[in-house]
């Protein structure tokens, strides 16, 4: 058995370990690469959307300023070379600049130039000044792309303004719109300068990797801020050429730099000016975790192989020894000896088998004892049934009442009680039949009530309300009398008010239901729970009184005849009476 275990288990374990490790590595590496690419793509896409939204706002402000009516009025008046700007013109121009100023955290400065040979108005840091300006360089830029209305200029030094902010590098990104019908007839320009710090914040904040970075790429330059290791650098001209030549608006390409390192470039395009935002990441950094997982899985697999061999050998020794002892015990059980000592074994398969056989032997012993107890309970129940059929104390009390009535010369009442008593016992005997019609059971109860009324006078009243259809159903004999007797002796007798017992019978979902209700003293919640638990468990308490035996006898006989879902159920509360629900079919 030991060699069989080693030959079979060790190869299987090694196969499972190898297969699990291989698939774990493939799945982990694939997922890590996918997550890394997805994370970079999401970063690029989010940065692109943010930049596009911000730059769109700037373009909107520029467009509004170009079409401003006040600015058009000033431009038209100054077409006359002899016209000199008045104070009102300067105020009007200042209002135009105030209205046009977009997000101040984004815009560095604004320049307005109109009509040749006039000074340009330059606003920066809420200060407006006149500067000398040449339109020719911007005409050249317009001529290279005559289709676009608004033109962009990548990061460059602002030649006009000075700043009091020491953190300002003096570099800006510009966009402008020439005023006029075409390039040749352009007479002015409106130019917005965007702060260098805005792009620096956007491109520096996302953490791509240790040597990964974001760049903003256009036809005339690259904007990038992060310094990376020399071996991961790509020439700006090479990066610009390859990215701007891509036909797709977004995607990824791989570039090998001069040192032979592969760089992954994930890019997306700004819709507002067709510039491209790109994330440049070294592939070896991107796949570093994949290599780490590969070597980690290999080490774990080797460790598991060694452990598997050791544990398989140990398991073979552990299994074979207890099996021999266990088979000897089973042979003893087959000979009919149940008095076997089982020691507690470890929690492995043999231990489970050992405990299972031990528990089985214990259960067999319990079942033998339970059968003996059930036979004894059955004998006691049969005796209890005979006791309820005869009820000597009820007979003695009734005969004593008859004697008392005769002595009082109340012969009519005595005769009526004798008649009711004889009818009561006639129905109780029922020619030995255990099952009688409901109509006979009700007749039996009427005789019982007659006897009790003659004994107790008008101390209680009763009513019986039965659906006619129920009278033809059969019921176990002497079902209701013990329950009514309990209602009188344990309910109404202990009540300070006049008692009333109501018996109502009806058919509910093909079952017969009889409710016996009294307005007696009721019972406490604990007592009610005890009785219902007593009925549910189908057992009598060792110290129970006659009432307990009677309830048990009725309940058990109903279940034996109709099934486990039938029988008695009690409902009661203190000082609110008691209801016994009898269910049968």
Asked if the structure places residue 46 within a domain, the reply is: no
Helices (H), 391-437: 392-407, 411-429
Looking at 200, 230, 252, the residue that finishes a domain is: 200
In which element (H, E) is residue 533 found? helix 525-536
Could you tell me if residue 320 is inside a domain? no
Q: DSSP string spanning 119-143?
A: PEEEEETTEEEEE----HHHHHHHH
CATH code, 184: 3.30.450.20
Whether residue 426 is contained in a domain is answered as yes
In the DSSP assignment, the letter for residue 321 is H
Kindly state the tokens that stand for 264.
Answer: 């992954």
Kindly state the DSSP code that residue 468 receives in the 8-state scheme: G
Contact 244, 217 (CB under 8 A): yes
Print pLDDT tens along the chain (585 aa): 677 777 777 788 888 888 887 887 778 777 777 877 888 899 999 999 999 999 998 998 888 888 888 888 877 777 777 777 777 878 887 777 777 666 677 888 888 887 766 778 888 877 878 888 888 777 766 555 555 678 899 999 888 766 555 555 789 999 988 887 666 667 788 899 999 999 999 998 888 888 889 999 998 899 998 888 888 899 989 999 999 999 899 999 999 988 888 899 999 999 999 999 999 999 888 777 677 777 788 888 888 888 888 877 877 777 777 777 777 777 776 666 666 666 665 666 667 777 777 777 778 778 878 887 877 677 556 645 544 554 555 666 677 777 877 877 777 777 877 887 777 776 666 555 678 899 988 988 888 888 888 777 778 899 999 999 999 999 988 888 888 888 887 878 777 788 899 999 999 988 999 999 998 888 888 888 888 888 887 654 444 444 466 787 788 888 888 888 899 999 987 777 899 999 998
Nearest to 149 by CA among 173, 193, 180: 180
Q: How far apart are CA 398 and CA 449, in angstroms?
A: 12
Q: End of a domain among 141, 171, 200? A: 200
Beta carbons of 556 and 534 less than 8 angstroms apart:
no
Domain CATH number, residue 530: 3.30.565.10
Q: Which two tokens stand for residue 320?
A: 């074979």
Strand order in the sheet with 221-224: 221-224, 213-218, 276-282, 262-269, 251-256
**Domain annotation covers residue 216:** no
Query: What distances in angstroms separate CA 326 from CA 320, 341, 348, one per listed residue?
Result: 10, 11, 14
Place of tokens 């240790």: 210
Query: How far is residue 522's CA from residue 184's CA, in Å, rounded to a whole number?
Result: 111
User: Residue 203: which of 194, 219, 221, 216 has the closest Cα?
Assistant: 216
Distances from the Cα of 20 to the Cα of 73, 368, 443, angstroms: 79, 51, 80
Number of domains in the chain: 2
Radius of gyration of the chain (CA): 52
Task: Collect all residues with Cβ–Cβ distance below 8 Å to 483 and sequence separation of at least 6.
Answer: 516, 550, 551, 554, 568, 580, 582
Tally of residues, the chain = 585
DSSP 266-297: EEEE-TTT--EEEEEEEHHHHTHHHHHHHHHH
Q: In terms of residue numbers, what domain contains 184?
A: 67-200
Last residue of a domain, one of 200, 218, 241: 200
CA distances from 429 to 193, 389, 441, 485, 583 (A): 116, 8, 12, 18, 23
Residue 457 within a domain = yes
**Placement of tokens 């030094």 in the chain:** 157
Please check whether residue 197 is in contact with residue 215, taking contact to mean a CB–CB distance below 8 angstroms.
Answer: no
Q: Is residue 212 part of a domain?
A: no
514 assigned to some structural domain: yes
The rounded distance, in Å, linking the Cα atoms of 437 and 332 is 56
Residue 105 lies in a domain: yes
């Amino acid at each position: 058995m030991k060699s069989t275990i080693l030959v079979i288990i060790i190869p299987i374990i090694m196969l499972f370990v190898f297969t699990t490790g291989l698939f774990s590595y493939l799945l982990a590496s694939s997922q890590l690469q996918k997550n890394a690419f997805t994370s970079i793509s999401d970063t690029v896409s989010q940065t692109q959307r943010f930049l596009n939204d911000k730059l769109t706002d700037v373009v909107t402000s520029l467009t509004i300023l170009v079409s401003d009516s006040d600015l058009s009025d000033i431009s038209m008046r100054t077409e006359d070379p002899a016209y000199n700007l008045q104070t009102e013109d300067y105020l009007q121009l200042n209002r135009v600049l105030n209205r046009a100023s977009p997000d101040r955290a984004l815009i560095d400065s604004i320049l307005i130039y109109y009509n040749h040979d006039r000074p340009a108005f330059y606003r920066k840091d809420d200060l407006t000044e006149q500067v000398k300006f040449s339109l020719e360089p911007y005409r050249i830029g317009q001529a290279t792309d005559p289709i676009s209305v608004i033109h962009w200029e990548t990061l460059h030094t602002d030649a006009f303004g000075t700043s009091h902010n020491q953190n300002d590098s003096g570099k800006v990104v510009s966009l402008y719109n020439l005023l006029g019908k075409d390039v040749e007839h352009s007479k002015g320009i409106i130019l917005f300068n965007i702060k260098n710090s805005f792009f620096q914040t956007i491109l520096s904040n996302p953490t791509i990797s240790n040597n990964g970075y974001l760049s903003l790429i256009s036809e005339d330059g690259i904007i990038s801020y992060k310094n990376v290791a020399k071996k991961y650098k790509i020439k700006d001209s090479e990066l610009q050429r390859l990215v701007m030549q891509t036909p797709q608006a977004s995607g990824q390409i791989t570039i090998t730099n001069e040192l032979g390192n592969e760089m992954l470039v994930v890019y997306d395009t700004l819709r507002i000016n067709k510039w491209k935002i790109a994330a440049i990441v070294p592939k070896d950094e991107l796949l570093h975790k994949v290599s780490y997982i590969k070597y980690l899985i290999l080490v774990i697999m080797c460790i598991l192989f060694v452990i598997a061999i050791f544990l398989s050998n140990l398991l073979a020794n552990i299994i074979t020894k207890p099996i021999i002892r266990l088979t000897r015990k089973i042979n003893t059980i087959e000979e009919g000896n149940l008095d076997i000592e089982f020691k507690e074994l470890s929690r492995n398969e043999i231990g489970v088998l050992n405990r299972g056989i031990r528990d089985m032997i214990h259960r067999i012993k319990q079942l033998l004892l339970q059968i003996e107890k059930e036979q004894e309970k059955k004998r006691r129940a049969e005796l209890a049934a005979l006791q309820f059929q005869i009820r000597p104390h009820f007979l003695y009390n009734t005969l004593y009442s008859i004697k008392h009535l005769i002595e009082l010369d109340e012969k009519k009442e005595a005769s009526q009680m004798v008649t009711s008593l004889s009818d009561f016992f006639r129905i109780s005997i029922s020619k030995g039949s255990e099952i009688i019609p409901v109509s006979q059971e009700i007749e039996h109860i009427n005789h019982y009530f007659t006897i009790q009324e003659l004994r107790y006078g008008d101390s209680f009243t009763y009513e019986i309300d039965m659906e006619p259809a129920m009278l033809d159903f059969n019921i176990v004999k002497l079902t209701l009398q013990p329950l009514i007797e309990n209602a009188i002796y344990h309910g109404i007798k202990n009540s300070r008010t006049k008692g009333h017992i109501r018996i109502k019978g009806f058919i509910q979902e093909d079952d017969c239901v009889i409710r016996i209700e009294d307005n007696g003293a009721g019972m406490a919640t604990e007592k009610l729970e005890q009785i219902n638990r007593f009925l549910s468990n189908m057992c009598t308490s060792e110290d129970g009184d006659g009432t307990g035996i009677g309830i048990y006898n009725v309940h058990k006989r109903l279940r034996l005849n109709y099934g486990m879902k039938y029988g008695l159920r009690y409902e009661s509360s203190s000082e609110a009476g008691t209801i016994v629900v009898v269910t049968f079919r």
